[in-house]
Amino acid sequence: MDFCGAHIISVKQFERVDIDRVFQVADGMEPYAHRKRITKVLDGAILGNMFFEPSTRTRVSFGCAFNLLGGHVRETTDVKTSSISKGESLYDTARVISGYSDVIVMRHPKVGSVSEFAKASRVPVINGGDGPNEHPSQALLDLYTIKKELGSNDRAIDGMHIAMVGDLKHGRTVHSLSQLLLVYDKIRFTLISPKELCMPAEIVAELKAAGHEVIETEDMEEGLTDNDTVYLTRIQEERFTNRLEADIYRGRYRMNRAIYTRNCAPNTVIMHPLPRDSRAAANELDNDLNQHPNLAIFRQTDNGVLVRMALFALILDVADRIDQSATDVGWYTESRFE
Protein backbone atom coordinates (compact mmCIF):
# COMPACT_ATOMS: atom_id res chain seq x y z
CA MET A 1 0.00 0.00 0.00
CA ASP A 2 1.13 3.56 -0.61
CA PHE A 3 1.11 5.09 2.86
CA CYS A 4 1.79 8.64 1.74
CA GLY A 5 -1.46 10.62 2.14
CA ALA A 6 -3.51 7.45 2.77
CA HIS A 7 -6.57 7.19 4.98
CA ILE A 8 -6.33 4.32 7.50
CA ILE A 9 -9.89 3.05 7.83
CA SER A 10 -9.67 -0.74 7.94
CA VAL A 11 -7.08 -3.44 8.64
CA LYS A 12 -8.08 -4.95 5.31
CA GLN A 13 -5.90 -2.28 3.65
CA PHE A 14 -2.78 -3.99 5.03
CA GLU A 15 -0.75 -6.64 3.26
CA ARG A 16 1.95 -8.42 5.20
CA VAL A 17 4.68 -6.15 3.79
CA ASP A 18 2.73 -3.11 4.97
CA ILE A 19 2.50 -4.48 8.50
CA ASP A 20 6.24 -5.19 8.44
CA ARG A 21 6.89 -1.63 7.29
CA VAL A 22 4.79 -0.15 10.12
CA PHE A 23 6.61 -2.35 12.66
CA GLN A 24 10.03 -1.46 11.26
CA VAL A 25 9.27 2.28 11.51
CA ALA A 26 7.77 1.75 14.99
CA ASP A 27 11.02 0.08 16.15
CA GLY A 28 12.94 3.19 15.08
CA MET A 29 10.65 5.42 17.17
CA GLU A 30 11.83 4.00 20.46
CA PRO A 31 14.52 6.61 21.33
CA TYR A 32 11.97 9.37 20.68
CA ALA A 33 9.07 7.75 22.52
CA HIS A 34 11.40 6.92 25.40
CA ARG A 35 12.57 10.55 25.69
CA LYS A 36 16.18 9.88 24.73
CA ARG A 37 16.07 11.93 21.55
CA ILE A 38 13.90 14.77 20.25
CA THR A 39 12.77 15.15 16.65
CA LYS A 40 11.00 18.13 15.10
CA VAL A 41 10.20 16.36 11.85
CA LEU A 42 6.51 17.37 12.04
CA ASP A 43 7.20 20.90 13.26
CA GLY A 44 4.26 23.09 12.22
CA ALA A 45 1.91 20.20 11.44
CA ILE A 46 -1.48 20.01 13.16
CA LEU A 47 -3.37 16.88 14.18
CA GLY A 48 -7.16 17.19 14.45
CA ASN A 49 -7.96 14.64 17.17
CA MET A 50 -11.73 14.18 17.04
CA PHE A 51 -13.27 11.81 19.55
CA PHE A 52 -17.05 11.57 19.61
CA GLU A 53 -17.01 8.56 21.94
CA PRO A 54 -15.23 8.09 25.30
CA SER A 55 -11.49 7.44 25.04
CA THR A 56 -8.38 7.84 27.12
CA ARG A 57 -5.58 5.70 25.65
CA THR A 58 -6.35 6.01 21.99
CA ARG A 59 -6.89 9.77 22.09
CA VAL A 60 -3.95 10.58 24.37
CA SER A 61 -1.53 8.20 22.69
CA PHE A 62 -2.35 9.56 19.22
CA GLY A 63 -1.82 13.05 20.65
CA CYS A 64 1.46 12.12 22.35
CA ALA A 65 2.68 10.34 19.23
CA PHE A 66 2.10 13.50 17.20
CA ASN A 67 3.74 15.70 19.84
CA LEU A 68 6.74 13.38 20.00
CA LEU A 69 7.26 13.95 16.27
CA GLY A 70 7.21 17.72 16.85
CA GLY A 71 3.60 18.41 15.76
CA HIS A 72 0.70 20.21 17.45
CA VAL A 73 -2.58 18.64 18.56
CA ARG A 74 -6.11 20.15 18.47
CA GLU A 75 -8.74 18.17 20.29
CA THR A 76 -12.49 17.92 19.87
CA THR A 77 -13.80 15.52 22.45
CA ASP A 78 -17.46 16.09 22.99
CA VAL A 79 -20.48 15.91 20.72
CA LYS A 80 -22.31 18.38 22.98
CA THR A 81 -19.75 21.16 22.48
CA SER A 82 -19.22 20.52 18.76
CA SER A 83 -21.45 21.61 15.89
CA ILE A 84 -22.51 18.00 15.38
CA SER A 85 -25.05 18.74 18.12
CA LYS A 86 -26.49 21.47 15.86
CA GLY A 87 -27.19 18.95 13.13
CA GLU A 88 -24.02 19.42 11.08
CA SER A 89 -23.30 16.59 8.63
CA LEU A 90 -20.11 14.54 8.67
CA TYR A 91 -19.43 15.96 5.21
CA ASP A 92 -19.42 19.56 6.42
CA THR A 93 -17.40 18.78 9.56
CA ALA A 94 -14.83 16.96 7.45
CA ARG A 95 -14.54 19.81 4.93
CA VAL A 96 -14.06 22.33 7.72
CA ILE A 97 -11.70 20.42 10.04
CA SER A 98 -9.53 19.25 7.16
CA GLY A 99 -8.89 22.92 6.39
CA TYR A 100 -7.50 23.33 9.91
CA SER A 101 -5.46 20.10 10.17
CA ASP A 102 -2.82 18.12 8.30
CA VAL A 103 -4.11 14.76 9.49
CA ILE A 104 -7.22 13.76 11.45
CA VAL A 105 -7.92 10.92 13.87
CA MET A 106 -11.59 10.27 14.34
CA ARG A 107 -13.65 8.09 16.67
CA HIS A 108 -17.40 7.96 16.19
CA PRO A 109 -20.18 5.64 17.44
CA LYS A 110 -21.59 4.87 13.98
CA VAL A 111 -20.28 2.00 11.83
CA GLY A 112 -18.89 3.40 8.58
CA SER A 113 -18.89 7.02 9.80
CA VAL A 114 -15.11 7.47 9.66
CA SER A 115 -15.01 6.17 6.10
CA GLU A 116 -17.80 8.60 5.15
CA PHE A 117 -15.91 11.42 6.89
CA ALA A 118 -12.67 10.50 5.11
CA LYS A 119 -14.34 10.76 1.69
CA ALA A 120 -15.06 14.43 2.36
CA SER A 121 -11.75 15.20 4.05
CA ARG A 122 -8.96 17.07 2.29
CA VAL A 123 -6.31 15.42 4.52
CA PRO A 124 -5.62 11.81 5.62
CA VAL A 125 -7.97 10.36 8.23
CA ILE A 126 -7.19 7.55 10.69
CA ASN A 127 -10.06 5.52 12.11
CA GLY A 128 -9.83 5.68 15.91
CA GLY A 129 -12.84 3.33 16.20
CA ASP A 130 -16.18 3.44 14.32
CA GLY A 131 -18.75 1.92 16.65
CA PRO A 132 -18.44 -1.85 16.95
CA ASN A 133 -16.85 -2.14 13.52
CA GLU A 134 -13.08 -1.54 13.43
CA HIS A 135 -10.14 -0.11 15.35
CA PRO A 136 -7.15 -0.56 13.02
CA SER A 137 -4.44 1.21 15.03
CA GLN A 138 -5.32 -0.90 18.09
CA ALA A 139 -4.99 -4.08 16.01
CA LEU A 140 -1.58 -2.95 14.76
CA LEU A 141 -0.33 -2.21 18.27
CA ASP A 142 -1.79 -5.48 19.55
CA LEU A 143 -0.03 -7.43 16.82
CA TYR A 144 3.20 -5.49 17.36
CA THR A 145 2.98 -6.47 21.03
CA ILE A 146 2.24 -10.11 20.20
CA LYS A 147 5.22 -10.21 17.85
CA LYS A 148 7.55 -8.81 20.51
CA GLU A 149 6.20 -10.95 23.35
CA LEU A 150 6.28 -14.20 21.37
CA GLY A 151 9.59 -13.27 19.75
CA SER A 152 11.27 -13.09 23.14
CA ASN A 153 10.41 -16.80 23.50
CA ASP A 154 11.36 -17.79 19.95
CA ARG A 155 7.73 -18.06 18.93
CA ALA A 156 6.17 -16.46 15.82
CA ILE A 157 2.82 -15.08 14.70
CA ASP A 158 2.48 -17.77 12.02
CA GLY A 159 1.21 -20.93 13.68
CA MET A 160 0.36 -19.27 16.99
CA HIS A 161 -2.61 -20.14 19.18
CA ILE A 162 -4.67 -17.20 20.38
CA ALA A 163 -7.77 -17.17 22.59
CA MET A 164 -10.11 -14.18 22.47
CA VAL A 165 -12.48 -13.85 25.40
CA GLY A 166 -15.59 -11.78 26.15
CA ASP A 167 -17.83 -9.61 24.01
CA LEU A 168 -16.65 -10.70 20.58
CA LYS A 169 -19.84 -9.47 18.93
CA HIS A 170 -19.41 -5.77 19.77
CA GLY A 171 -15.65 -5.56 20.38
CA ARG A 172 -14.06 -3.65 17.51
CA THR A 173 -10.57 -4.50 18.75
CA VAL A 174 -11.11 -8.24 18.29
CA HIS A 175 -12.78 -7.65 14.92
CA SER A 176 -9.76 -5.72 13.67
CA LEU A 177 -7.13 -7.96 15.25
CA SER A 178 -8.59 -11.15 13.82
CA GLN A 179 -8.97 -9.61 10.37
CA LEU A 180 -5.40 -8.30 10.48
CA LEU A 181 -4.30 -11.89 11.15
CA LEU A 182 -5.90 -13.03 7.88
CA VAL A 183 -2.59 -12.37 6.11
CA TYR A 184 -0.67 -14.78 8.40
CA ASP A 185 -0.53 -18.58 8.26
CA LYS A 186 -2.14 -21.40 10.23
CA ILE A 187 -3.25 -19.60 13.36
CA ARG A 188 -5.56 -21.31 15.84
CA PHE A 189 -8.28 -19.01 17.17
CA THR A 190 -10.23 -20.06 20.24
CA LEU A 191 -13.19 -17.71 20.50
CA ILE A 192 -14.67 -17.75 24.00
CA SER A 193 -17.93 -15.86 24.43
CA PRO A 194 -21.56 -16.30 25.39
CA LYS A 195 -23.42 -17.56 22.28
CA GLU A 196 -25.29 -14.26 22.02
CA LEU A 197 -22.00 -12.30 21.94
CA CYS A 198 -20.07 -14.48 19.52
CA MET A 199 -17.71 -13.27 16.80
CA PRO A 200 -19.66 -12.17 13.68
CA ALA A 201 -20.15 -15.14 11.33
CA GLU A 202 -18.57 -13.28 8.37
CA ILE A 203 -15.31 -12.87 10.28
CA VAL A 204 -15.27 -16.53 11.37
CA ALA A 205 -15.87 -17.56 7.75
CA GLU A 206 -13.01 -15.33 6.54
CA LEU A 207 -10.63 -16.80 9.12
CA LYS A 208 -11.49 -20.34 8.06
CA ALA A 209 -11.22 -19.45 4.35
CA ALA A 210 -7.72 -18.11 5.05
CA GLY A 211 -6.72 -21.55 6.38
CA HIS A 212 -6.91 -20.75 10.10
CA GLU A 213 -8.47 -23.07 12.66
CA VAL A 214 -11.39 -21.61 14.60
CA ILE A 215 -12.83 -23.12 17.77
CA GLU A 216 -15.87 -21.40 19.26
CA THR A 217 -16.81 -22.19 22.84
CA GLU A 218 -18.67 -20.80 25.83
CA ASP A 219 -16.40 -22.67 28.24
CA MET A 220 -13.58 -20.38 29.29
CA GLU A 221 -11.44 -22.82 31.25
CA GLU A 222 -11.49 -25.35 28.42
CA GLY A 223 -10.69 -22.66 25.85
CA LEU A 224 -7.75 -21.28 27.80
CA THR A 225 -5.54 -24.34 27.50
CA ASP A 226 -2.58 -24.41 25.13
CA ASN A 227 -2.45 -20.81 23.90
CA ASP A 228 0.41 -18.42 23.18
CA THR A 229 -1.80 -15.42 23.87
CA VAL A 230 -5.06 -14.83 25.72
CA TYR A 231 -6.79 -11.59 24.69
CA LEU A 232 -9.49 -10.52 27.13
CA THR A 233 -12.17 -7.93 26.43
CA ARG A 234 -14.74 -5.92 28.33
CA ILE A 235 -18.49 -6.33 27.88
CA GLN A 236 -19.20 -3.35 25.60
CA GLU A 237 -22.05 -1.99 27.69
CA GLU A 238 -22.51 1.08 25.46
CA ARG A 239 -23.55 -1.17 22.55
CA PHE A 240 -26.46 -2.76 24.46
CA THR A 241 -29.94 -1.27 24.52
CA ASN A 242 -29.72 -0.87 28.29
CA ARG A 243 -27.55 -1.60 31.28
CA LEU A 244 -29.66 -4.52 32.46
CA GLU A 245 -29.05 -6.37 29.22
CA ALA A 246 -25.29 -5.94 29.64
CA ASP A 247 -25.61 -7.13 33.26
CA ILE A 248 -26.63 -10.56 31.98
CA TYR A 249 -23.10 -11.11 30.64
CA ARG A 250 -21.02 -8.98 32.97
CA GLY A 251 -18.73 -11.08 35.14
CA ARG A 252 -19.34 -14.27 33.17
CA TYR A 253 -15.67 -14.58 32.24
CA ARG A 254 -13.00 -13.62 34.72
CA MET A 255 -9.27 -14.09 34.49
CA ASN A 256 -7.27 -14.13 37.70
CA ARG A 257 -4.06 -15.68 38.97
CA ALA A 258 -5.71 -18.96 40.05
CA ILE A 259 -7.55 -19.44 36.76
CA TYR A 260 -4.43 -18.52 34.80
CA THR A 261 -2.23 -20.93 36.72
CA ARG A 262 -4.77 -23.75 36.51
CA ASN A 263 -5.49 -23.51 32.78
CA CYS A 264 -2.89 -21.58 30.82
CA ALA A 265 0.40 -22.83 29.43
CA PRO A 266 3.32 -21.29 31.38
CA ASN A 267 4.34 -18.66 28.79
CA THR A 268 0.86 -17.52 27.81
CA VAL A 269 0.84 -13.77 27.19
CA ILE A 270 -2.11 -11.95 28.78
CA MET A 271 -3.51 -9.04 26.78
CA HIS A 272 -6.46 -6.63 26.99
CA PRO A 273 -7.06 -3.48 24.89
CA LEU A 274 -8.11 -1.66 28.07
CA PRO A 275 -9.99 -0.15 29.78
CA ARG A 276 -10.57 -3.26 31.89
CA ASP A 277 -13.77 -3.11 33.87
CA SER A 278 -12.42 -3.49 37.40
CA ARG A 279 -15.78 -3.13 39.15
CA ALA A 280 -16.61 -6.16 41.28
CA ALA A 281 -19.52 -7.21 39.06
CA ALA A 282 -17.27 -7.48 36.02
CA ASN A 283 -13.54 -7.71 36.80
CA GLU A 284 -12.64 -9.61 33.63
CA LEU A 285 -8.93 -9.26 34.41
CA ASP A 286 -8.09 -9.27 38.09
CA ASN A 287 -5.52 -7.03 39.76
CA ASP A 288 -3.90 -10.10 41.31
CA LEU A 289 -2.14 -10.57 37.95
CA ASN A 290 -0.69 -7.03 37.96
CA GLN A 291 2.83 -8.15 38.84
CA HIS A 292 2.76 -11.22 36.61
CA PRO A 293 5.59 -11.07 34.03
CA ASN A 294 3.29 -12.34 31.27
CA LEU A 295 0.78 -9.53 31.76
CA ALA A 296 1.45 -7.41 28.66
CA ILE A 297 -1.34 -4.81 29.01
CA PHE A 298 0.92 -1.88 29.86
CA ARG A 299 3.48 -2.92 27.27
CA GLN A 300 0.55 -2.77 24.82
CA THR A 301 -0.20 0.83 25.81
CA ASP A 302 3.48 1.82 25.56
CA ASN A 303 3.75 0.12 22.17
CA GLY A 304 0.68 2.06 21.03
CA VAL A 305 2.71 5.27 20.99
CA LEU A 306 5.42 3.70 18.79
CA VAL A 307 2.91 2.29 16.32
CA ARG A 308 0.92 5.54 16.13
CA MET A 309 4.12 7.54 15.60
CA ALA A 310 4.94 5.13 12.76
CA LEU A 311 1.52 5.63 11.15
CA PHE A 312 1.86 9.41 11.24
CA ALA A 313 5.41 9.28 9.90
CA LEU A 314 4.39 7.02 7.01
CA ILE A 315 1.21 8.89 6.12
CA LEU A 316 2.94 12.28 6.23
CA ASP A 317 5.95 10.80 4.42
CA VAL A 318 8.67 11.66 6.94
CA ALA A 319 9.59 8.14 8.04
CA ASP A 320 13.04 8.38 6.47
CA ARG A 321 13.74 11.84 7.88
CA ILE A 322 13.05 11.38 11.60
CA ASP A 323 16.72 11.37 12.56
CA GLN A 324 17.64 14.45 10.54
CA SER A 325 17.99 17.44 12.86
CA ALA A 326 17.18 15.26 15.88
CA THR A 327 18.83 16.20 19.17
CA ASP A 328 19.44 14.52 22.49
CA VAL A 329 17.07 15.34 25.33
CA GLY A 330 18.36 18.32 27.30
CA TRP A 331 16.08 18.04 30.32
CA TYR A 332 15.82 15.63 33.18
CA THR A 333 14.02 12.44 32.32
CA GLU A 334 14.11 9.16 34.14
CA SER A 335 13.61 5.99 32.17
CA ARG A 336 10.18 4.55 32.90
CA PHE A 337 10.17 2.02 30.08
CA GLU A 338 10.95 -1.67 30.43
Minimum CB separation of residue 47 from ligand NCD in Å reads 17
Q: Counting contacts by CB under 6 A, is residue 108 touching ligand NCD?
A: no
Among 79, 129, 84, which residue's Cα sits nearest to residue 236? 129
Interstrand relation of 327-328 and 125-130 (parallel, antiparallel or unpaired): unpaired
Contact status: 73 vs ligand NCD (CB under 6 A): no
CB of 142 to ligand NCD, least distance (A): 9
The C-alpha R_g of the chain, in whole angstroms, comes to 20
Q: Does 138 bind ligand NCD (CB under 6 A)?
A: yes
Nearer to ligand NCD, 45 or 271 (CB): 271
Residues 6+ apart with CB under 8 A from 117: 90, 93, 94, 104, 106, 108, 125
Show the site string, 273-292: x = touches ligand NCD by CB under 6 A, - = not: xxx-----------------
Instruction: Tell me: does residue 110 bind ligand NCD (CB under 6 A).
Output: no
Pick the closer one to ligand NCD by CB: 58 or 268: 58
User: Looking only at residues 214 through 273 of this chain, which bind ligand NCD when binding is defined by CB under 6 A?
Assistant: 234, 236, 273
- Phi and psi dihedrals of 47, rounded to 5? -95, 125
DSSP annotation of 37: E
User: Which CB sits closer to ligand NCD, 163 or 319?
Assistant: 163
Alpha helices in the chain (DSSP H): 16-28, 30-33, 57-68, 90-100, 113-120, 136-151, 172-180, 201-209, 220-224, 243-247, 257-263, 297-315
- Contact call for residue 58 and ligand NCD (CB under 6 A): yes
Q: Please, which residue, 98 or 301, has the CB nearer to ligand NCD?
A: 301
One-letter amino acid at 297 equals: I
Shortest spacing between CB 324 and ligand NCD, in angstroms: 32
Handedness of CA 312, 49, 98, 115 (dihedral sign): positive
Q: Is 173 in the site for ligand NCD (CB under 6 A)?
A: yes
Task: Pick from 7, 108, 135, 308 the residue near ligand NCD by CB under 6 A.
Answer: 135
Q: Residue 93, interface with ligand NCD (CB under 6 A)? A: no
What does the DSSP 8-state code read for residue 76? E
Number of H helices, E strands in the chain: 12, 11
Q: Which residues are near ligand NCD by CB under 6 A?
A: 57-58, 129, 135, 138, 172-173, 234, 236, 273-275
